[in-house]
Amino acid sequence: MDAMFRIFVFSFIALFVIECSSKSEQLQRLTVQSRVNETQKFNDISIKVKNVNDSRCPSGCECVWAGEARVFLNITKNDNSMDTCLIFPSQPIVKFMDYSVELRDVSPYPLCDNQFTSDYIFTFQVSVLR
C-alpha cells in the first residue's frame, strides 16, 4: 500500500505541474488573424499588415519553384516601432522587444487566376517572451 500511495502522490503532483505550466503558456500566447491594412492588438503590442507579395505556386499551375509569401508588417509597442517582413514558410518569426510574432498561415492559397490582396487572411501567433 505504501508504494501505491507514493505512486498516486507522485502522479498527482506531476499532473498538477503539467496542468499549471500549460495554463501559463496559454496566458502568454495568442493567435490573431488580420487582413492587409488592419491593425490587431495584443496587450501593449500592435501588428499592422501593410502588404503581401505571394509568389507561392498557384494551385492548378505547374511551377519550377514552390515559392513563398512575403508579408510586410509594422509592429508597435508604446513609442517603439519596427517595419519588418516575414517570409512564409521559410522565415516566419520575428522578435520585437519582449514579444515573438510568428506568421502561422497565409490564406487563401493562390489560384492560377487573379488573387486580390484584400482576399488574404494572415494568422499570427503572438507570444510574450519571459
| Structural domain contains residue 24 | no
**How many beta carbons lie within 10 A of that of residue 69, not counting itself?**
23
Cell numbers placing 29 = 500566447
Short-list 110, 109, 64, 69, CA closest to 89: 69
| Structural domain contains residue 89 | yes
In angstroms, what CA-CA distances link 117 with 6, 67, 109, 114? 60, 17, 12, 10
Short-list 3, 81, 80, 75, CA closest to 39: 75
Look at the chain and report how many structural domains it folds into: 1
- Bigger pLDDT: 122 vs 21: 122
CA separation for the pair 5, 57 (Å, rounded): 59
In the sheet that 69-77 helps form, which strands lie side by side, from edge to edge?
Answer: 39-42, 45-54, 69-77, 80-88
Structure pTM?
0.74
| pLDDT classification of 62: cutoffs 50, 70, 90 | confident
| Structural domain contains residue 54 | yes
| Structural domain contains residue 23 | no
| Structural domain contains residue 98 | yes
| Structural domain contains residue 110 | yes
For the stretch 69-108, pLDDT in tens is 999 999 999 999 999 999 999 999 999 999 999 999 999 9
- Bigger pLDDT: 72 vs 130: 72
| Structural domain contains residue 11 | no
| Structural domain contains residue 17 | no
Residue 38 structural domain: 30-128
**How many beta carbons lie within 10 A of that of residue 106, not counting itself?**
22
